[in-house]
Copies of this chain bind each other. A is one copy, B any other.
Amino acid sequence: MSPTKSYCIEDLAVGMESSLSKTVSDADIVAFAEVSGDRNPVHLDADYAATTMFKERIAHGMLSAAYISAVFGMQMPGPGAIYMSQTLAFKAPVKIGDTVVTTVKVTEIIAEKKRAKFECVCAVNGKPVLTGEAMLMVPSRAA
């Protein structure tokens, strides 16, 4: 699964969007714990998680954030764009078996700086679990 195209800044317009859908597995949470070093038991230990407000194991919030990175890196704008900044508001937990739909939408084009601003939403069953805003530098066709 390689990215098939990249958008240049001239290709983007306010309102354009791109989404990807990913169902979170137990193995995904374990793999994210391994690579990040975040072995907080709320992610890994069902008995501990049962004692928390979440009642069961939850995914790392940064796993959903990583899906935003995946949309940018793989779909829109795709390879060649440079990630400058991202805000993240964690709204609700993601549990094993939840399907996270991650959508980024162009909200502003700053053509002279080759930058685009995106609204980012990760949602489960239509309910936002993570929202934020990103700024990327996007290559120009002219360059």
Residues A35 and B35 in contact in the complex (CB < 8 Å), given A61-B69, A85-B90, A89-B84: yes
- Distance in angstroms between the alpha carbons of A43 and B88 in the assembled complex: 22
Selecting from A8-16, A26-34, A111-119, the interface stretch reads A26-34
Interface size for chain A: under 10, 10 to 19, 20 to 34, or 35 or more residues? 35 or more
Closest to A68 in B: B62
- Distance in angstroms between the alpha carbons of A51 and B26 in the assembled complex: 37
How many chain copies?
A: 2
A20 at the interface (CB under 8 A from B): yes
Q: Which of A1, A40, A42 has the most CB of B within 10 A?
A: A40
Residues A79 and B48 in contact in the complex (CB < 8 Å), given A65-B62, A66-B60, A69-B62: yes
- Distance in angstroms between the alpha carbons of A89 and B86 in the assembled complex: 7
- What residues of B have a CB within 8 angstroms of the CB of A87 in the complex? 85-88
A128 at the interface (CB under 8 A from B): no
- What residues of B have a CB within 8 angstroms of the CB of A40 in the complex? 3, 73-74, 78-79
Q: Which of the residues B20, B39, B63 comes within 8 Å of A3, measured between beta carbons?
A: B39
- Distance in angstroms between the alpha carbons of A28 and B86 in the assembled complex: 22
Knowing that A38-B72, A82-B90, A86-B90 touch, tell me 6 more A-B residue pairs with CB under 8 angstroms: A32-B66, A41-B79, A62-B66, A65-B65, A85-B90, A87-B88
